Structure 1
Amino acid sequence: MSFNPLEHRGIPLDRQLRNWRELNVDPIDPDHADPYTRCRIITMNGIEVEALMFSHQFARNCADMDVKRQLAEVRYLEQQQQKVVNWLLPGTVSALETTIAYEQVAVDLTAWVARMEPDPYLTQAYQFGVLEDFDHLYRYANLYEMIQHRKAEKIVNGLTEVIPGRPTKYHHRHPADNVRAPYDRTTTAPISKLHALTIMSAEQQTMNFYMNVGPQYMEPIARQLYQEIGLIEEEHVTHYESLVDPGETWWERLVLHEYNECYLYHSFMQTESDRRIKAIWELHLNMELEHLRVACDLLRTHDGREPEEVTGPALPEPVTFEPNKAYLRELLDTQIDLTTLGEGYVRDAHERFERMQEALNGDGPPPSETVIDEHRERFGQDYRLSTEGEHPVEELRAPQPTGTTGGQR
């Protein structure tokens, strides 16, 4: 039976505050935990952080003191949720190991969303981005073996392949070509809005993480690679956030944020393999049901609308972390040489693209190429984790002047 969060009451707000003992959760065991348990933790941290940042921005743009107080109360409780979720990650792992897990999230979450997205225009946006995350995973995996002398297969556990995607050096585009046309809030399916919010949140979390951990490394190649890929994450956040209709009201977006949290906690409660972590997802779902109720009341009061107009009648099928190897290889075969032009996608290395490439890469290879060259020099070959034979593309292609493809509105 489908689950409709709008029909359920959660834990009352005055019973949600947790003490230090309750917040002091034990982290997962990095050597024995299901890699997708770690992926779910990383995903929910990104979702909680986005909800917090949105609530702060809402408060800064709201003159109603009663609303500001309601936002503050819910926001504090969601800060506690974020602390529990993110503190499930073990302190014994390095930032680079967490980075590889972040990229595994980006690959398998975005690929799953692309497969499930009903709007072809939005599907193309996710397909385009996932091939770049796929390559980032490959570059970081090579760095990991170089500076920590360990292999990424221990982290991804064969669930996600580690092979080249669209080469990172070709991800650098003129900022104007990272802005997509938004969906139409009046006609777009509710699931499409949840997908857009989820992927935007995940990419924003990754961008923030790289901005902060990159300079903590001493190795020059590590500092340089984080700097390069960190700039690409800026492009990705621009790419995904521009898909959201700017005509959505603050109240509408508040409901979508809370509804999406219910959707994801409910999804992960259904699919979690670790019973202890599953209990946390269930607890947080019951908290979010009450946060959603508050948001829905604000929508009715200030927008004069019913939440069903925004959310639809029931939750979609659960978000699932699962291997996407065949799907990604199909995208590698058909979309590896795409870049963007305006709001669409082309195979043409157009003038703005070439100017950006020359400005960044004109004096020598970027860090994403240097890390592979140095790995090959040290080990005789690059690091790859292929579970289905060799990568079908021997020489990964740059965008070529062969015309355009679809994806424009």
Structure 2
Amino acid sequence: MTFNPLAERGIPLEQQIRNWRELNVEPIDPQAADPYTRCRVITMNGIEVEAIMFNRQLARHCTDPDVRRQLAYLRYVEAQQQRVVNWLLPPIPSALETTIAYEQVAVDLTAWVARMEPDPYLKQAYEFGVLEDFDHLYRYANLFEMIEHRKAEKVVDELTEVMPGRPTKAHHRHPHDNVRDPYDRNTVNPLSRLHALTVMAAEQQTMNFYMNVGPQYMEPIARQLYQEISLIEEEHVTHYESLVDPGETWWERLVNHEYNECYLYYSFMQQEPDPRVRAIWELHLNMELEHLRVAADLMRRFDGRDPEQVVAPELPKPLLFESNKEYVRHLLATQIDLTTLGAGYVRDAHERFERMQQQIHGGQQPPSEQVIDEHRNRLGDEYRIETEGPHPVPDLRQKTAVGR
């Protein structure tokens, strides 16, 4: 069954503002909910935040007061949607438990996108990034057990393995080497536009979360680890946002944002096992269909083009949250030693990379290494979830503390 959001009519705009009772949604139960339900919630929160911030930037560059008022209305509704989605997160988990869920999103969302991406250059960008988020999950999981005495399998439910990826200490690159080549807006597959926007928004949300929650911890090692990884998320946002063609017009981008929201709400509605959450995805889809209609009219008015010239005439295959263990293990075995040089990838460390490593580490062990050493010393080994066998890279297999 095909679904063309450009041909569908949603809820009229004047009916989209909700009251407090409607906004005050019950959060999901972290003990009973599907782990991927939480992943979908986290993803859509990032998508909504990106939509709001893009709308703000567009409004700040728009001179037409009527259009600015129209954008303000859309933005307010998007803000209500964001509150509903974000308020689905359970109030019980610590920030660190939520962090582990964020990294599960980064691993399984990016891995799925990489598997489905039709453009080889863009595919490589996602494959490169997923090995770094995979390592972040491992570092945070060890911190989680060490300071909260809880295990990450209660969060990821063994759908995602926990073991070293590309070592976090090697993620610190010269900023020039985080900028990728953009796709060509005139020839790019419409699916690639959606992939780039989705992963960029998810990473941007992660960066914002870490840089704000990190200082709230009392434990020095936690504060330090959040500081280190939040800086790497800054690199990741640069990495992914640079894939988007900067020549896209404001109105083209607005259509892309609204179309992508339709795509993701439709995708998640198809796979969501929780009927209450599924009803929210369906409601928001019907709101976004009207937002897309408004965006399409603005594009015709200001660009003189039809949105069909930019987006696909029907939604692609739904984006799925599913386990990617075999795929991630393949990437670990074949791409663990990659770094970046300019807009490309190399296997050997180069002068600019080595200089950045010296500047940022200053000859000291970074927090990402300290947290593993400390876990080994306190508990005798590392925390891992290796459901599919030993680590595919022999040098990264389990090590115990000295003397144990």
**TM bucket normalised to smaller:** over 0.9
CA distance in 1, matches of 2:392, 2:329: 8
Root-mean-square deviation (Å): 0.8
CA distance in 1, matches of 2:165, 2:177: 20
* One-letter code aligned to 2:193: K
Normalised by the length of structure 1, the TM-score is: 0.96
Aligned twin of 2:362: 362
Aligned twin of 1:403: none
CA distance in 2, matches of 1:312, 1:151: 43
Task: Out of 244-253 and 384-393, give the one that drifted further.
Answer: 384-393
Query: Where do residues 256-405 of structure 1 align in structure 2 (5 Å cutoff)?
Result: 256-396=256-396
* One-letter code aligned to 1:236: H
Deviations 1:220-257 (A, max 9, x none): 00000000000000000000000000000000000000
Query: Where do residues 91-240 of structure 1 align in structure 2 (5 Å cutoff)?
Result: 91-240=91-240
Deviations 1:250-303 (A, max 9, x none): 000000000000000000000101010000000000000000000000000000
CA distance in 1, matches of 2:167, 2:143: 15
Deviations 1:322-367 (A, max 9, x none): 0000000000000000000000000110000000111112331000
Deviations 1:6-28 (A, max 9, x none): 11100000001100000000000
SS for the counterpart of 2:31 is coil
- Moved segments of 4+, more than 6 Å: none
Distance apart, 1:396 and its partner CA? 4.4
Asked whether the equivalents of residues 166 and 396 of structure 1 are also in contact (C-alpha less than 8 Å), the reply is no
Asked whether the equivalents of residues 161 and 386 of structure 1 are also in contact (C-alpha less than 8 Å), the reply is yes
CA distance in 1, matches of 2:154, 2:238: 32
CA distance in 2, matches of 1:164, 1:391: 8
SS for the counterpart of 2:395 is coil
CA distance in 1, matches of 2:50, 2:121: 24
* One-letter code aligned to 1:61: H
CA distance in 1, matches of 2:11, 2:369: 51
CA distance in 2, matches of 1:240, 1:325: 23
Deviations 1:112-151 (A, max 9, x none): 0000000000000000000000000000000000000000
CA distance in 2, matches of 1:358, 1:82: 41
CA distance in 2, matches of 1:305, 1:392: 50
SS for the counterpart of 1:150 is coil
CA distance in 2, matches of 1:348, 1:386: 28
Aligned twin of 1:249: 249
* One-letter code aligned to 1:256: N
Aligned twin of 1:406: none
Unaligned residue ranges in structure 1 (runs of 5+): 398-409
SS for the counterpart of 1:395 is helix
Task: Out of 147-156 and 384-393, give the one that drifted further.
Answer: 384-393
Distance apart, 1:394 and its partner CA? 2.8
CA distance in 1, matches of 2:200, 2:222: 25
CA distance in 2, matches of 1:195, 1:322: 16
Normalised by the length of structure 2, the TM-score is: 0.98
Distance apart, 1:90 and its partner CA? 1.0
Aligned twin of 2:88: 88
* One-letter code aligned to 1:109: L
* One-letter code aligned to 1:221: I
